[in-house]
Amino acid sequence: MSFYVLLAKRLGEKEQQHSTEICKELLSGGASAHIKSAALTILTQNEGAEALDELLNAATDGDAHLRTVALTLLADNTELSPPQLWLEALDEQSAPVQTDAIAILGTSDDIPVESVKPFLDSDELSVRKAAIGVVAEKDGEQALPLLLDMLAQAQQEEEIAALKQALLQLPTQPLVTAAAERLPSVSAQTKLALIDILAQRNASDQLDAVLGELEDASPQLRLAILGALDELTTPSDISQLIDLLAQSQNEEERSAIQGTIVQVASNNDADGKTNQAVIEALTEIPDAQKPALLAVLPGIGGEEALQAVVTASKSNNTEVQQAALLALTRWPHATAVVPLQDALKNLSSEERSALLPGYIRLVAESNYASEDKAQFLNELLQESSSPKEKATLIAGLARLSSNKALQVVASYFDAEEQSVRDQAYQSAAQILARSKDAGQSLSLLTGVTDAASKKVAHYMKVQKDKQQKANGEQNSDAYLPAYNVAQEEAKGMNVPPEGFTTLFNGENLKGWNGPVGNPESRAKMSSQELAEKQEEANENMQAHWSVRNGILYFDGNGHSIVTEKEYKDFVMLVDWKIEPGGDSGIYLRGTPQVQIWDITEWPQGSGGLYNNQNHPNDPLVAADNPVGEWNSMRIKMIGEEVTVHLNGELVVPGVVMENYWNRDIPIYSQGQIELQSHSTPLYFRNIFIQEIPRSMKLFNDENLNGWVPVGGHADSWHASDGVLYTEGGGGGWLSTAETYDNFKLELEYRLPEGGNSGVFLRAPREGNPAYQGIEIQLLDDHAEEYADLQSWQYTGSIYDVQAPSQNVSKEAGTWQKMVIIVDGPNIKVIHNGQIIINTSLVNYMDRVDEHPGLKRRSGYIGLQNHHSRVEFRNITITEIK
């Protein structure tokens, strides 16, 4: 507790006359402003009107804190001194006193707005700014003409900013109409401010008025107008945006318009029509305009856009072809790798040069297996003739940590060109320095000379010294000449590659359990029974599984080991090694299994889905390393399909994995990952996982499976003909069976006249979900009975927190589309194709006492039963990781 607050507390406890005398002494003496503020507050409480002289003196004091306290006390006790008298006497006061008095006293109901308006003409900027805020608050819409006139005359940036802030507090429709009407008659500086106001109010109905200012506009104004298009355009304006792109005068303008086209297509294209319009325009516009539009398509993405770019890459027009190829290098997904590679192979070395960095990036950032990435670059390397091109591709291989990449790089150690050899040495050094694989060592490659090994070692030392210097460390001459990880197995292992998390930390068994039954039998156990069996299973597991030098080791006795956590869709990386006769496997979602065994006894090799009966169960090829050597496995599971790479070879190409425990149903949607024991010693390391966001239907179109009624009448919710609905009257809400953290929720809903409902996010099942979680409101916004609600009660609002930026609700009885994106504290609501909420819950942390749900980051999704019929359909969710 600060001293002056403590003083106020102690003075308040004393006998009134005594404390009054002390307060007056403090006010007349040399006490600090904070102590005087505490004394003034106590004195006013004790003396009332008798404290007026002290209040008036403090209200004109040079200390801002004491002055603010005094003015606030006067504002709260208008019987002491009418605020009107204060304002009339302000001409004699300094600018700081005038500013504070207007801001604090001016908002009083006892002050007519006409008493404040004269201060709008003050010579002092701070006084004018204070008056602007008060006039806007008190006069509301009536202040529009006056504030717009001031904006037209304002020269200082601070005053323009204050006027914009005041104007943006006024009702949207009158504001945007008046701002648009003023545009043609004001200066360029004022036009910039008005356009910013229109953009902040998403005034798409004033787009033509804004675009009308482009003609004869200065470069600065043109760029401001085009930059505002993000907030002023809708999908219906896409053709106009494409025309504007053709008329752009420089790269800055083109970039602004291209960004708007991407935003409109990405955020508002629920049915794909906007994207299709862009793609169709590409076939209709002249060749001269196509390069600018092709640059937009990577931002849009999708198969149709990719095909349009591939087609353009075969154009006879050189500029169109080059623009299309550049677009492929910037594509956001690996689907462009193969068509781009095909196109590059048909170009000359000189033509490929500018495109290679983009191709390398695309390959390196793709989800292909490391060996496949190396092969993509190697295939193009074989086509290369110039030293520069070879060196670029070899440098690209340095981004890949795989045996294949190292082998390709090493094959250029004896290249004719010095620049190519040097790059090969450097790339090998980079690959080895990052290596987590004991197999990655120059000593294991054939044909590598001692001279080449020394060159690579030299570059490794150079890199190490640079890194140490950057970290402020002293250089060291101690380094391994041939960098063989096998000599120091535990070093550098169990460190996940980018985008992956560690399942095995290399130190202990944290995150792992002993197995209890199977998914079917566990589901029938009580929580107490499961806990007891889990404790017993863990004791058994810990007796036979251990960590040795960073390796997860099984002694050949006991049972398997399973992850504590359950997983849905994922990519898993794991290195394994077995002894002669070894037999193991990896259970996915608790289900056997991706097979691991001794290839000398089972020549078909490891990686197959051993327990499949109706789908393929053997691997495509045998890719095992010799028994006793490490193998690297990459397992990808999406839905029911499993893809397996073993030592860089594709062995299972997206095969359905059957449910071993209940063959009448598909494999479970989530479950544990299990490393199977089979009475032989086993070795595992580098076990990593990358969870893949899953899009799934929350409503199966048939029944309420996956939903749980909470409160009210459980029988008030129904499903029929692809619609989930309630007739109302039951109260309560319908909750998902699972909790969700970050996600994109898409749904369609239909309300009757006067209908009222909501979507709960991250809610617990106890308490009011609108406050313990958060609620996105659903309402018949056009109903008469809702005409006078608060703005935060209309459709799309975060209920009782933030109002939507615009009303795009359709009439009652009409199906409407809502997309809700929840990512950490960030909330975005897209209603009928328009963004109406885009905010961070962090902005409202001052309200967590009444809205504890604002700080929740996980919980159930719910649909509200608000005593009126409400219907939902096409409810899907995509989890965000």
Q: Where are the domains of the chain?
A: 1-81, 83-170, 333-488, 501-692, 696-879
Tokens of 521: 């039998």
Digit-coded pLDDT (tens) for 448-459:
887 888 888 877
> Does domain 333-488 match CATH 1.10.3470?
no
Task: Report the mean per-residue pLDDT for the chain.
Answer: 85
Model confidence at 671, in pLDDT bands (50, 70, 90)? very high
Count other C-beta atoms under 10 Å from residue 862's C-beta: 25
State the Rg of the chain over Cα. 35
- The CATH number of 696-879, from 3.40.50.1260, 2.60.120.560, 3.90.870.10, 3.40.50.720, is 2.60.120.560
Model confidence at 837, in pLDDT bands (50, 70, 90)? very high
**How far, in Å, CA of 305 to CA of 309, rounded?**
6
Better pLDDT: 479 or 592: 592
Identify the pLDDT of residue 80.
67
Name the percent of the chain in helix, strand, coil, to the closest 5.
Answer: 45, 20, 35
Identify the pLDDT of residue 476.
33
Most confident option among 134-138, 176-180, 298-302: 176-180
Please provide residue 551's backbone torsions phi and psi, each rounded to the nearest 5 degrees: -115, 135
**How far, in Å, CA of 322 to CA of 287, rounded?**
12
Digit-coded pLDDT (tens) for 122-140:
888 988 998 898 898 888 8
Identify the pLDDT of residue 87.
63
Has residue 335 got a pLDDT over 50?
Answer: yes
**How far, in Å, CA of 9 to CA of 22, rounded?**
13
SS3 327: helix
Q: Residue 386, class by beta-carbon neighbours within 10 Å (0-12 exposed, 13-18 middle, 19+ buried)?
A: middle
Identify the pLDDT of residue 441.
65
Has residue 279 got a pLDDT over 50?
Answer: yes
Residues in the chain, overall count:
881
Better pLDDT: 500 or 747: 747
Q: Which helix (H) or strand (E) holds 275?
A: helix 273-284
Identify the pLDDT of residue 780.
94
Q: Residue 348, class by beta-carbon neighbours within 10 Å (0-12 exposed, 13-18 middle, 19+ buried)?
A: exposed
Better pLDDT: 396 or 273: 396
Model confidence at 200, in pLDDT bands (50, 70, 90)? confident
Among 662-666, 752-756, 801-805, the range scoring the smallest mean pLDDT is 662-666
Tokens of 605: 């090799």
Has residue 460 got a pLDDT over 70?
Answer: yes
Has residue 848 got a pLDDT over 90?
Answer: no
**How far, in Å, CA of 54 to CA of 489, rounded?**
80
Q: What is the DSSP letter of 298?
A: H
Among 14-18, 616-620, 626-630, 652-656, the range scoring the smallest mean pLDDT is 14-18
Are the beta carbons of 574 and 515 closer than 8 angstroms? no
Has residue 773 got a pLDDT over 60?
Answer: yes
Digit-coded pLDDT (tens) for 775-813:
999 999 999 989 889 999 999 999 999 999 999 999 999
Identify the pLDDT of residue 10.
52
Q: Which of 402, 406, 407, 410 is nearest to 437 (CA)?
A: 402
Identify the pLDDT of residue 557.
86
Q: What is the DSSP string of 113-159?
A: HHHHGGGGG-S-HHHHHHHHHHHHHHHGGGGHHHHHHHHHH--SHHH
Q: Which of 406, 487, 421, 484 is nearest to 451 (CA)?
A: 421
Identify the pLDDT of residue 152.
92
Has residue 433 got a pLDDT over 50?
Answer: yes
Residue identified by tokens 């694989």 is 437
One-letter amino acid at 601 equals E
Whether a cis peptide bond, with omega within 30° of 0, leads into 593 is: yes
Model confidence at 672, in pLDDT bands (50, 70, 90)? very high
Instruction: Name the percent of the chain lying above pLDDT 70.
Output: 91
Are the beta carbons of 119 and 92 closer than 8 angstroms? no
Instruction: Name the percent of the chain lying above pLDDT 90.
Output: 33
Identify the pLDDT of residue 149.
93
**How far, in Å, CA of 305 to CA of 331, rounded?**
10
Are the beta carbons of 833 and 816 closer than 8 angstroms? no
Has residue 684 got a pLDDT over 90?
Answer: yes
Q: What is the DSSP letter of 524?
A: T
The answer to whether 501-692 and 696-879 have equal CATH topology is yes
Has residue 772 got a pLDDT over 90?
Answer: yes
Q: Which CATH number does 501-692 carry?
A: 2.60.120.560
Tokens of 499: 């985008």
Has residue 13 got a pLDDT over 60?
Answer: no
Q: Residue 470, class by beta-carbon neighbours within 10 Å (0-12 exposed, 13-18 middle, 19+ buried)?
A: exposed
Model confidence at 33, in pLDDT bands (50, 70, 90)? confident
What's the rounded mean pLDDT across residues 463-471?
61
Has residue 482 got a pLDDT over 50?
Answer: no
What's the rounded mean pLDDT across residues 228-238?
86
Identify the pLDDT of residue 550.
87
What's the rounded mean pLDDT across residues 316-324?
92
Identify the pLDDT of residue 81.
65
Residue identified by tokens 């078909």 is 604
Better pLDDT: 231 or 84: 231
Q: What is the DSSP string of 444-482?
A: GSTT--HHHHHHHHHHHHHHHHHHHHHTTPPP-----SS
Are the beta carbons of 552 and 684 closer than 8 angstroms? yes
Q: Which of 546, 578, 558, 550 is nearest to 515 (CA)?
A: 558
Identify the pLDDT of residue 475.
38
Digit-coded pLDDT (tens) for 517-557:
898 888 888 878 888 899 899 988 998 999 988 899 998 88
SS3 603: coil
Count other C-beta atoms under 10 Å from residue 70's C-beta: 27
Instruction: Give how far Cα 173 sits from Cα of 132, 198, 207, 781, Å.
Output: 20, 10, 14, 17
